[in-house]
A and B are shown apart, each in its own frame.
Chain A
């Protein structure tokens, strides 16, 4: 066994990043919230028991601060203490309380101007840059923590749904396949998409609250910047960065990622982050261990772009092939043809379909055999899933093929290439060779056709742009 020495410092650095981000965010939480250590400004009664001029002055001054809540509370408390001292001193000099209050407030100057000057003192360019850097750092830590926590949460929900489905199945109730995931791999992509959605939400939320705290600004004032950055960054990643199996469900889950990033910057951003209760951590940990075991047991093996070959033990009638076209009359097609396929080599991964004479029948070349026929083409039809009981064959819910390619004569073979991996929801398919006969009607030339199944592979953008 070899140990990658680079993995050790990388792991340590990764762990240090998360711990530092957590400490940074927790420190930011103390500044953004009032917290137990933040002093509160004492309220003083007015001289006539009516409207308190000191509180009114402090309110006007606070309205100009636009600082985090803890900073506002500190400035208010500091100035309230200053006014208390100043008033007491003036009263000691012989002024009555009302005059002393007026004089003390006059010495501080206009409340609005004082508030603006104190805000300018706090919101320096240096702090703004530090806030931006801290926000990026916290976003990284928040993403990792959100991914871990989101993984727990999503796994727990998945276990619950699996238990519900098992219970319903035991009761004889079968729900429709909402995921349209015949091979069981879409569920994993959806789980990853939802987990990443939670991570994106946490990332922008951590970024907003940390940068607000470090730069001495309100969360709302920096939220727009982080929402734009998070929406664009995560949006690009969701559309172009996540490659693999795609379906309508997985694309929907992936498009939730940038939406969550924007929402994380705005929704209830003034509220402190919740601290997970201990029981939630324990439940999440159990789910995190149990869910993969359940999924591994349930999903089983799956393939991509595989062909099942001829279902020789079945009759053509079992496969509902007449849905496509009737079989060509023997007088117009004296020799039998067989369609088969193979995965193309190279980067495309497309499937090559070909049709040939069944060997041992006759020695006639294929071209004269098909001289009575025109518009030869391969038709790809949606088929019944392979793992369902029965012979499979054409899915009779469909009345037209989802892909058609002209059959090109190549020596003694008719060829066409289908890129099933880039066709939306191709799933299980059945390919038949058809042509228009001397009577002007379309017939199928191959008795059984050729079946297989494929999963869309690519990015969410590829899926959105792909033909249906």
Chain B
């Protein structure tokens, strides 16, 4: 699909994307996928199959806390909230990503020249 990032490029970024959208507040799984899609203007569509293992891994690592809450529509939802550990992890991942993307931009830009 034109305008979307290939799945291979998204590998390894799921953690950063999840932590980023959860920095703004509590969300449940489906909302997290939708929020990532919206914030990226449709460029990032994370695999829903990899989203839940990532959420549970982050919860096991103490980066997220989960709680069941009533929903306006449908059954109760499992909401995720970022923790202090998760905020620290987000800072590290953001710095790594900034370094990586800057390097990639230079490398790719240098190749074009």
- A residues adjacent to B (C-beta < 8 A): 39, 42, 74-75, 77-82, 84-86, 107-110, 113-114, 117-118, 120-122, 124, 126-127
Interchain CA distance A124-B59 in the complex, whole Å = 11
Given contacts A39-B68, A118-B56, contact A86 B48 (CB under 8 A): yes
B residues 31-69 in Cβ contact with A at 8 Å:
47-50, 52-54, 56-57, 60-61, 68
Interchain CA distance A396-B34 in the complex, whole Å = 94
Q: How large is the interface on B (under 10, 10 to 19, 20 to 34, 35 or more residues)?
A: 20 to 34
Interchain CA distance A74-B52 in the complex, whole Å = 12
B30 at the interface (CB under 8 A from A): yes
Tell which of B29, B49, B50, B61 touches A78, judged by Cβ atoms closer than 8 Å: B29
- B residues adjacent to A (C-beta < 8 A): 28-30, 47-50, 52-54, 56-57, 60-61, 68, 71, 74-78
Using Cβ atoms and an 8 Å threshold, which residues of chain A touch B47? 107, 109
Chosen A-B contacts, 15 in total, with CB atoms closer than 8 Å, are A75-B56, A77-B76, A77-B78, A79-B52, A80-B75, A81-B76, A82-B30, A84-B75, A86-B48, A107-B47, A107-B48, A108-B49, A114-B53, A118-B52, A121-B57
Contact A114 B60 (CB under 8 A): no
Interchain CA distance A85-B78 in the complex, whole Å = 13
Given contacts A117-B53, A118-B53, contact A82 B75 (CB under 8 A): no
Contact A109 B49 (CB under 8 A): yes
Residue of A nearest to B29 (CB): A82
Q: How many A-B residue pairs have CB under 8 A?
A: 70
Tell which of B28, B52, B57, B77 touches A114, judged by Cβ atoms closer than 8 Å: B52
Contact B75 A39 (CB under 8 A): yes
Contact B76 A39 (CB under 8 A): yes
Nearest CB of A to B88, in Å: 17
Contact A121 B48 (CB under 8 A): no
Nearest CB of B to A60, in Å: 13
Interchain CA distance A127-B50 in the complex, whole Å = 21
Residue of B nearest to A117 (CB): B53
Contact B48 A82 (CB under 8 A): yes
State the 4 A-B residue pairs at the shortest beta-carbon distance, nearest first: A109-B49, A117-B53, A121-B56, A121-B57
Interchain CA distance A86-B71 in the complex, whole Å = 15
Using Cβ atoms and an 8 Å threshold, which residues of chain A touch B57? 121
Contact A77 B75 (CB under 8 A): yes
Contact B49 A113 (CB under 8 A): yes
Contact A121 B60 (CB under 8 A): yes
Residue of B nearest to A216 (CB): B60
Interchain CA distance A108-B53 in the complex, whole Å = 11
Contact A84 B74 (CB under 8 A): yes
Using Cβ atoms and an 8 Å threshold, which residues of chain A touch B75? 39, 42, 77, 80-81, 84
Using Cβ atoms and an 8 Å threshold, which residues of chain B touch A107? 47-49
Contact B60 A81 (CB under 8 A): no
Residue of A nearest to B53 (CB): A117
Contact A117 B76 (CB under 8 A): no
Using Cβ atoms and an 8 Å threshold, which residues of chain A touch B74? 81, 84-85
Residue of A39, A42, A85, A114 contacting most chain B CB atoms (<10 Å) = A85
Contact B52 A124 (CB under 8 A): no
Contact B60 A86 (CB under 8 A): no
Contact B49 A81 (CB under 8 A): no
Tell which of B50, B60, B77 touches A117, judged by Cβ atoms closer than 8 Å: B50
